[in-house]
Amino acid sequence: MKKTIIVLLVLAVAIVLQVFLSKQKDKRLGLILPLVGLIYSITTIFGITIGKDTTVGEAMGLAISTFLLSNIPTIILMTIYLGYRGKLKQIKD
């Protein structure tokens, strides 16, 4: 139960931080957390353990599915970034 609360708090802080960074004048600040998420998803591929009996197709499928699943936070953070940057752009116009 404690781990769930900690994970939810970390997610909430990350979302609030992403909203804050996305609202800043410097466009690059809002890209920091999505970039961290992308780097994390790439490093998870290197952590995959493949057995001796695993075919190349199975290994590729595992790598692709791992990459896509670990990029879910990146997609969420980029959606927040693009949403707020779009609103800021409309306000300026």
What mean pLDDT is predicted for residues 42-70? 92
pLDDT at residue 59, as a whole number? 92
CB 68 within 8 A of CB 60: no
Closest CA to 40 of 6, 2, 66, 13: 66
What mean pLDDT is predicted for residues 1-30? 93
Tell me the pLDDT band of 93, cut-offs 50, 70 and 90.
low
**Structural domain tally of the chain?**
1
How many Cα atoms occupy the beta-carbon half-sphere of 65 within 13 Å?
7
pLDDT > 80? residue 64: yes
Residue 1, H or E segment? none
Domain with 81 in it = 2-92
The SS3 call for residue 61 is helix
Query: What does the angle CA 78 – CA 10 – CA 75 come to, to the nearest 5 degrees?
Result: 15
Contacts of 72 (CB under 8 A, 6+ apart): none
What mean pLDDT is predicted for residues 70-78? 95
pTM (2 d.p.): 0.83
% of the chain beyond a pLDDT of 90:
80
Residue written as token pair 């998420």: 37
What mean pLDDT is predicted for residues 29-50? 94
CB 17 within 8 A of CB 73: no
% of the chain beyond a pLDDT of 70:
98
